[in-house]
Structures are given as structure tokens and as C-alpha cells.
Amino acid sequence: MYEVVTSFILILFFSFILQRIHSFYHSRSAISVVHISIIVIFSFLSTLFLQEYGKWTGQGETVYLQLLASSFYVRWFILFLILFAIVNQLWIDKHIQEQNNSFERLVEKERQLAQAEISNLQQQFQPHFLFNSLNSISALVKMQPEQARSMIHNLSDFLRLTIQKSKEESTTVKDEMDYLNLYLAIEKVRFGHRLNIDLQTDQVCETAKLPSLLLQPIVENAIKYGLYGNIGELTIKIHVSCEQQFLKVLIQNPFDAESMQSSKGTGFGLASVNRKLQLLFKRTDLLKIEQTTSDFKVELLIPQQ
């Protein structure tokens, strides 16, 4: 009885020592010279100690002492197997922990890279719009100073919101529409009566979430290419609705296929929006483009949690 308890205590003691060794040393292989050496030494010392302890407690018991002497190597082998199993389990646990840590670092690195790319895309959306707006203000200063002043105020508010929203990953439909209306107010000053907006938003969708600064480059793209080669009025249709687990945004503008053939557009706006959706939702089917001889439609599907 005492020998069994002593054996159990020894195994716990050496297991603790092995665990401490593993916390500082972790080999690439579960079986190494270091592991085998430690196990052999520990199992031998344990068996030797139990051998001497058994002789001390079993004095006068001839049969027990003979059995103790003849089973030394058997007990050594059994202890070796027990400690070997413990070492392997410690190695497996340490290996799994290191794999999990590596995976978490990889995920965090990918998240940071994705966030950096998204920020870079957002920064590239604005410059040419800003230049165009400043040119328009310059042209209005002498002829229509009131409109120039109004445009400066709107542009100031727009840039302030852009900086604020660039720090946010997502926003509500209502906030995004307020931001979009501010942008459209600037564009309406630039293009006057030529630009008309048909904006329809289902009231139930106002609290739905979508990525910040997502719609403005698409609407800007629609205005740019809708007015290209067109001297008449332009109507941009924007419809926001909720369908099952998705927020659906449809943006439509008139399209002149013959005029667009000579356009030098790079398609950066839509490509950037598509890339942003891929980075955020890990899906490639959230942006759909439909082009006919007279219309150009962009449909966005934003997953809702």
C-alpha cells in the first residue's frame, strides 16, 4: 500500500518537473535524445528509490524481498512507459498551443493587412472628387458667390465626415444616406439641373449595417459615366431594401454604350468596392453588375448578422 502511494507521488513529482522542462524547452520532434535521456534517468531514479524503500518497509519478508529484487527491471520499464506517455502528452499539448498561437498571429496579421488595404482604398476614393469640387468652387466664386460659399460649407462637412467615417468599419444605412446626401448636394451644385437623384430607402432598413464609405464611390461612378457624352439631364436611381439576411442596394444610371467606348476610365471605383467587400466578408458574390444598351446597374448585397 505504501509503495503504491509512494510511486504515485513520485510520478506526480517527476511529471511536474517534466512539465517545467517543457515550458522552457520544446523540440521539433516528440521523441528526441533529450526526452529519452530524461525519461531513462527519471524512471531509473524512481525505480531505485522504490527498491530501497521496499527493502526498508519489507524487512523480514523474504518472499517480498525476492520479488522486489527480481522485478527491478520490469518496474523500471513500466515507469519508463508511464513517463514516456506523459512526456509525449506534454509535447502534444505544447505543440497544439504553439500552433494555436501561430494561427492567432496569422489571423491578426491578415486582419491588419486587410484593414490597411481597406484604409488605402478609402484614401484613394476622394482625391479626384476633391480636385473637381475645388475647380468648381473656383469657377463659381465670381459668377455665383453664394453657391460657391454653400459648396465650400458642404465640402467642409463632407471631408469632416469622411475623416470620421474612415475610422469606423461599419455604419447604419441612415448615417450612410446622410453622408451620401451631403456628397450629392455638392455634385448638384456642380452639375445643376442636369443631375437628378431618385433615392428610395425602405424605412425598416435604416438601422441595417454596411461598411463605411461604401456607396459614395459607386454613386460617383454612376454620375461620371452617366454624364459622359450626355448633354441632357441625368437621373441616378438608388434603392435600398432588406431581403432575408442581406441589405440590398441597387444603383442605376443611364448608359450610352457608344460614348463609353471612348472613355478612359480605369474602373478603379467598382474594383475597389468589390475588393473591400471581399476583404470584409470573404465572399466574391456580393457585387453584381448588369449592363444593357441604355442602363448600367450595380447591385450590392451586404450580409447582416
Note whether 112 and 203 are same-domain residues.
no
- Give the whole-angstrom CA distance, residue 117 versus residue 276: 8
Note the pTM of the prediction, 2 decimals. 0.60
Residues 112 and 47 in one domain: yes
Q: Quick check: is 121 in a domain?
A: no
Cell of 301: 448585397
Question: What is the model's pLDDT at position 42?
Answer: 77
163 in a structural domain:
yes
Q: Which of 116, 134, 158 delimits the end of a domain? A: 116
Question: Are residues 229 and 209 part of one domain?
Answer: yes
Claim to verify: residue 145 and residue 101 sit in the same structural domain: no
Is the domain of 104 the same as that of 134? no
The verdict on 146 and 99 lying in the same domain is no
Instruction: Please tell me whether residues 134 and 269 are part of one structural domain.
Output: yes
Let me know whether 291 and 214 are in one domain: yes
What is the predicted pLDDT for the residue at 5? 63
Largest CA distance in the chain: 121
Residues 175 and 40 in one domain: no
Residue 293 in domain: yes
Q: Domain limits at 101?
A: 2-116
The answer to whether residues 90 and 207 belong to one domain is no
DSSP state at residue 251: E
Number of structural domains, the chain? 2
Q: Are 38 and 135 members of one domain?
A: no
How would you write the pLDDT of the chain (305 residues) with one tens digit per residue?
Answer: 455 566 667 666 666 666 666 666 555 665 666 667 777 777 777 777 777 666 666 666 776 667 666 777 777 777 777 777 777 777 777 777 777 877 777 776 666 666 655 555 555 556 667 777 788 888 788 778 888 888 888 888 888 888 787 777 889 999 999 989 988 988 888 888 888 999 999 989 999 999 888 888 889 888 888 876 667 788 999 999 998 889 999 999 887 666 555 555 545 678 888 888 888 888 889 999 998 878 899 999 999 87
With respect to residue 272, please indicate whether it lies within any of the assigned structural domains. yes
DSSP letters, 168-226, are -SEEEHHHHHHHHHHHHHHHHHHHGGGEEEEEEE-GGGTT-EEETT-SHHHHHHHHHHH
Sequence-distant (6+) residues with CB within 8 A of 202 are 240, 241, 242
Q: Is 45 among the domain residues? A: yes
| Interatomic CA distance for residues 110 and 104, integer angstroms | 10
Q: Using CB atoms within 10 Å of the CB of residue 218, give its burial: 0 to 12 exposed, 13 to 18 middle, 19+ buried.
A: buried
Residue 6 forms part of a structural domain: yes
**pLDDT per position as a tens digit, 14-25:** 666 666 666 665
**pLDDT at position 107, please?**
72
End-of-domain residue from the set 116, 150, 172 = 116
Query: Among 56, 90, 116, where does a domain finish?
Result: 116
Question: Tell me, what CATH number does 186's domain have?
Answer: 3.30.565.10
pLDDT in tens, 50-68: 776 666 666 667 766 676 6
The verdict on 168 and 85 lying in the same domain is no
